[in-house]
């Protein structure tokens, strides 16, 4: 460069000029940005449509009630600044220090993990941009932040932010958040309550005091600590606020409950987990969500769950809980969901989709009998039913008796335990586990033991997972992944997300149909009699015993009760139990009682007016040496037992004749 000073000066001037042009064009572009929405930041509701394309429910935030900054307590303002943007009053919309810190963490993680956003940037993102994590979005966010800072003063920006930020439970803005959580106007909040609200925007669902009080309190204490560290409060105020107990507003069902509440909650859950939408986008984005909801099925389930006659009576104010999931076997479409009994908390715990409990004997067809049929066993196959001890594991039949041997058909219908464990050992635990995994039910290495034959799982299953698995029997061995959402579009119809048919053949048509025939008899003449409908019905009961612990010593009851079944049209799984089982709260019923009755009531109402049709039979289906149909007078294994009975009768007759001969000979000897 020393030899060419003219070239060096040209490069420097070109660089300066290029930078100047870039800065000027950026400033001009920023000036064109439209931020008029800040003057009217009302969210747009999202609409949910049923499988027929009809509007079924509206998903929206609560009423947005803006309040001026002067009515927002200073300690709430300071709490938000302390936790969200400590240099809020010092930067011009972009905090270069925070961005540098975030950039270092992003480089270390190899991904965009750290935000580094100011309050102004968050305001811009919430109103004008998506939650996409990309450099382009961050650049636009920064530009909008600069434009906002050029237009409004700091206090106005803070006021707008506090009035539109999302605080969880379907509410936006500090006024509605204060009313929802504490039942009071925002101006009346204490320091402790303000700190709790300030901790919510980072993860509203995770830190919601209505969802998890312990995490909410931990988060509140973090905010208080930051306020002390930044000299917004002193040590005395910190200790007093930290010691203040959590006093929440009593739930008002009318404020939170929407139409088809359980189903809507699951739609939100699926949109977040499967398609990556945020809760804020779903509640304020004016989206159109098309679903598999069947209003007739959903209403039938809700009506049954509203009738206490169909559920065990609670001993106190703690209800026996329950959840039901109903799916279409041929598409995987979730037709109906009820996830709880009693009052609803927005996006509260859904017993139909989030529950994980041991399924008991309802698991036998999935992990034992269907895999055995795949390996060549038939309903006529004779299984061992005697004293059993395999590596220290000794199951018992529920009647504490044994029969020596029983047919596979009888073992399912009567829900005997010993034959199921013996058969799983015969076909191999790995075969059973692999079959279950194909059915969409995850297992752990800790599940690899013979107890899995009786539903003894480490983590358990949900009703939705069980309904999805049993649906494969009705669909001749093809399992369709259960899903509620068909597609999600913007207000203008632009498709943002769309479901794809996720089908997998998990067993042969012959195995699926054979299992259906057996499970029909489990309903018609076995443990599932209470589920029988005036149409083809198949299913299986499930009951799990109380834990073998000192806390339950001397009690005669159960922890969980299930019924999982299907008709040619729908598959459903019903669970009942307590959220927390203890000596005062446990079931004294079984899967064949209340859960089976709930299944029957829901299905009979949901299918009212639907023509009766048979289960699909594979072409040329033959079972063993002759066709087998559920309802035949002749049962699998019956012929073998008849032969035994004939043999015994013959032996008795022959012994009787021999005895006559001996008696005659004795009389003749006496005469002599």
Spot the catalytic one: 361, 462, 590, 630: 361
266 token code pair: 């699951």
Contacts of 425 (CB under 8 A, 6+ apart): 390, 450
Place of tokens 């009576």: 313
How far lies 368's CA from each of 364, 412, 455, in Å? 5, 10, 10
Compute φ and ψ for 564, nearest 5 degrees.
-125, 125
Radius of gyration of the chain (CA): 33
Nearest alpha carbon to residue 196 among 176, 182, 185: 182
Spot the catalytic one: 57, 61, 62, 84: 84
341 token code pair: 């009994």
Contacts of 446 (CB under 8 A, 6+ apart): 458
Asked whether the beta carbons of 341 and 348 are under 8 A apart, the reply is: no
Nearest alpha carbon to residue 319 among 333, 340, 294, 293: 340
**Is 381 an active-site residue?**
no
DSSP codes joined into one string, 126-171: HHH-----SHHHHHHHHHHHHHHHHHS-HHHHHHHHHHH-B-STT-
Asked whether the beta carbons of 452 and 254 are under 8 A apart, the reply is: no
* Beta strands per DSSP E along 230-299: 288-291
Question: β-strands 495-498, 571-577: how paired?
Answer: unpaired
Handedness of CA 93, 95, 99, 102 (dihedral sign): negative
Return the DSSP state at 505: E
**Is 361 an active-site residue?**
yes
Question: β-strands 503-505, 478-480: how paired?
Answer: antiparallel
* Beta strands per DSSP E along 528-652: 538-545, 558-566, 571-577
Residues 570 and 471: their CA atoms lie apart, in Å, by 8
Catalytic residues: 84, 361
């Amino acid at each position: 460069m020393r030899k060419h000073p003219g070239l060096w000066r040209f490069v420097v001037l070109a660089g300066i000029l290029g930078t100047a042009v870039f800065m000027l064009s950026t400033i001009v572009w920023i000036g064109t940005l439209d931020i008029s929405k800040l003057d009217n930041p009302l969210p747009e509701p999202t609409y949910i449509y049923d499988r027929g394309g009809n509007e079924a429910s509206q998903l929206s935030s609560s009423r947005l009630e803006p309040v001026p900054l002067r009515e927002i307590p200073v300690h709430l303002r300071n709490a938000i600044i302390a936790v969200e943007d400590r240099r809020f009053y010092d930067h011009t919309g972009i905090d270069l220090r925070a961005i540098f810190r975030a950039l270092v963490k992003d480089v270390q993680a190899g991904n965009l993990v750290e935000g580094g956003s100011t309050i102004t940037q968050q305001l811009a993102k919430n109103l004008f941009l998506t939650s996409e994590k990309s450099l382009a979005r961050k650049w636009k966010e920064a530009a909008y932040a600069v434009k906002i800072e050029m237009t409004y003063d700091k206090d106005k920006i803070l006021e707008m932010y506090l009035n539109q930020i999302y605080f969880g439970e379907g509410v936006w803005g500090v006024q509605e958040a204060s009313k929802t959580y504490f039942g009071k106007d925002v101006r009346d909040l204490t320091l402790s309550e303000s700190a709790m609200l300030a901790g919510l925007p980072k993860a509203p669902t995770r830190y919601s005091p209505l969802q998890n009080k312990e995490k909410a309190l931990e988060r509140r204490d973090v905010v208080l600590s930051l306020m002390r560290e930044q000299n917004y409060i002193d040590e005395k105020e910190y200790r007093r606020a930290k010691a203040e107990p959590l006093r929440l507003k009593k739930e008002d069902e009318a404020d939170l409950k929407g139409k088809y509440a359980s189903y809507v909650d699951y739609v939100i859950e699926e949109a977040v987990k499967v398609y990556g939408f945020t809760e804020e986008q779903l509640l304020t984005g004016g989206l159109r969500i098309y679903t598999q909801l069947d209003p007739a099925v959903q209403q039938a389930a809700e009506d049954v769950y509203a009738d206490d006659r169909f559920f065990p009576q609670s001993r106190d104010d703690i209800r026996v809980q329950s959840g039901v999931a109903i799916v279409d076997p041929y598409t995987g479409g979730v037709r109906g969901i009820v996830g709880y009994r009693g009052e609803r908390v927005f996006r509260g715990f859904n017993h139909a989709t989030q529950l994980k409990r041991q399924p008991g004997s309802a698991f036998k067809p999935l992990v034992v009998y269907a895999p055995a049929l795949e390996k060549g066993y038939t309903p006529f196959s004779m299984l061992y039913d005697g004293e059993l001890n395999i590596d220290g594991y000794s199951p018992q039949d529920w009647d504490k008796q044994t029969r020596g041997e029983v047919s596979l058909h009888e073992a399912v219908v009567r829900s005997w335990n010993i034959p199921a464990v013996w058969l799983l050992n015969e076909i191999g635990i790995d075969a059973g586990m692999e079959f279950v995994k194909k059915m969409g039910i995850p297992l752990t290495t800790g599940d690899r033991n013979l107890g899995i034959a009786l539903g003894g799982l480490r983590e358990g299953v949900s009703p939705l997972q069980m309904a999805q698995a049993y649906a494969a029997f009705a669909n001749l061995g093809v399992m369709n992944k259960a899903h509620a959402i068909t597609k999600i579009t913007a207000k203008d119809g632009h498709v943002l997300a769309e479901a794809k048919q996720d089908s997998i053949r998990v067993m042969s048509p012959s195995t699926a149909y054979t299992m259906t025939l057996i499970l029909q008899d489990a309903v018609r003449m076995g443990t599932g009699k209470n589920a029988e409908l005036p149409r083809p019905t198949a299913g299986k009961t499930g009951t799990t015993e109380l834990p073998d612990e000192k806390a339950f010593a001397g009690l005669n009851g159960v922890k969980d009760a299930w019924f999982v079944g299907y008709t040619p049209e729908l598959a459903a799984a019903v669970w009942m139990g307590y959220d927390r089982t203890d000596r005062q709260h446990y079931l004294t019923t079984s899967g064949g009682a209340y859960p089976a009755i709930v299944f029957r009531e829901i299905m009979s109402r949901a299918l009212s007016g639907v023509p009766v049709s048979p289960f699909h039979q594979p072409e040329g289906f033959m079972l063993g040496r002759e066709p087998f149909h559920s309802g035949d007078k002749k049962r699998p294994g019956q012929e073998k037992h008849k032969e035994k009975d004939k043999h015994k009768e013959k032996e008795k007759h022959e012994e009787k004749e021999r005895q006559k001969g001996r008696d005659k000979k004795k009389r003749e000897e006496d005469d002599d």
